[in-house]
Amino acid sequence: MNYIFVIFLLITACFHFIQCTHLKGTFKSNDFFKFLVKFGFQKTDIHQKESTHGYIFGNITSRQNFPVQITFAVLDRSYFLEYYQNRLIYDKKEACKRMFNTLKVAAFDPKCSPNGNDYLRKIPCPKGQLCVDEDTAWNVIGGHQFTYVIQDLVQPSFWYVSMVACYRDEETCEWHHYEPNEHYEIDYDMWLVNGNPNNSAYNVLTYQFSFDRQNTLELHLLLWLCYIILVPLQCYAVRVQKHPVTKLFTASLAIDFVAICFILVHSLKFSLDGVGFPNLNMVGDILDILSRTLFMLLLLLLAKGWAVTRLELTWKPLVFAIWLCYGIVHILLYVWNLVGFTRSV
């Protein structure tokens, strides 16, 4: 059992994929493309549009001067697929052309595409000023340089946020790769939220969370309350009835309770600052998987009649092979979920 836990730690240590709604970081000159986050915005209520819109707002600045500005993109699924897939083309000049093949018409530009939609921003933005694409100052959240307002009256939708070292030539309207002569860094600090940040009455259970994770805080609180009752009762039972099955079940329950505590602490802080404790949350997920695999082992042992009709266990290799396969599949699915966001696009 312990070796599965160790293997899982080694695997997840290879990945650094954190989902949060308050993003801080740096886009560097050796990055051609940087994917920032996939975020689900809730369906806009036609009767309460202002309070149910999705918002993306923040600051993007640099200490270096740029002869041309590169691109910050906020795209829905229909445009993101072509854009994202073409980033891998080795010739970056060609990559820029193909990435923006559809967007050069669909994305707004005052000269090249005046009827387009608001998908792109030129970055970095001038320090202390709004981004050059923000032509309506009152629409920008106070203290920030840019704001996107997301509205979908039909259904919730995922939006994908990224940066890429491409720029549009204002004369020819063609897209080119930005090749700097010196090292540069672009610092970003942004928020993605469901609800109007200017409205102090926003729902703390949904505001910071992607729509697919909304109300998970309530679920974690409910589970925690249930475990607060169940765990002491089970601990008392294992003291009274010293039985192998009871001990194994208590161990599984106790580990899962610790996992719920870690995840709940992360969720509570996440609801306040959009970041939470991602490492603590990952430890909670690991403990949850360990608890589930331990419980599966208990079920397999009971199915073989262990500690019920006899203490001797038959077909040990088969039982533990099935248990091992279950644990490995659980681990692989979790890792795939951490790093395989593009598969769910």
Token couple for 286: 């690991």
Q: pLDDT at position 288, please?
A: 93
pLDDT one-digit tens code per residue, 265-278: 999 999 888 888 98
Give the contacts of 312 (CB within 8 A, at least 6 positions apart): none
Q: Which of 211-220, 305-314, 332-341 holds the top average pLDDT?
A: 211-220
DSSP state of 42: P
* Mean pLDDT of the region 319-340: 83
pLDDT at 305 over 80: no
- Residue with the larger pLDDT of the pair 24 and 203: 24
Concatenated DSSP letters of 244-265: HHHHHHHHHHHHHHHHHHHHHH
pLDDT one-digit tens code per residue, 144-159: 999 999 999 899 999 9
pLDDT one-digit tens code per residue, 28-66: 988 899 999 999 999 988 888 888 899 999 999 999 888
Q: pLDDT at position 200, please?
A: 64
How many Cβ atoms sit within 10 Å of the Cβ of residue 286? 18
Up-side HSE of residue 309: CA atoms within 13 Å toward CB?
A: 7
Which regions of the chain does DSSP assign to beta strands (E)? 22-28, 33-41, 54-62, 70-76, 120-123, 146-150, 157-164, 166-168, 175-177, 185-194
Q: pLDDT at position 224, please?
A: 94
Q: pLDDT at position 335, please?
A: 83
pLDDT at 22 over 60: yes
Name the residue with tokens 């765990």.
231
pLDDT at 162 over 90: yes
Token couple for 285: 């997920």
Q: pLDDT at position 239, please?
A: 85
Per-residue exposure over 170-198, b if at least 16 CB sit within 10 Å of its own CB, e if not: eeeeebbbbeeeeebebebebbbbbbbee
Q: Return d(Cα 30, Cα 28) in angstroms, integer.
A: 5
pTM for this one?
0.81
Do β-strands 120-123 and 33-41 pair in parallel, antiparallel, or remain unpaired? unpaired
185 beta partners: 28
Which regions of 138-233 does DSSP assign to beta strands (E)? 146-150, 157-164, 166-168, 175-177, 185-194
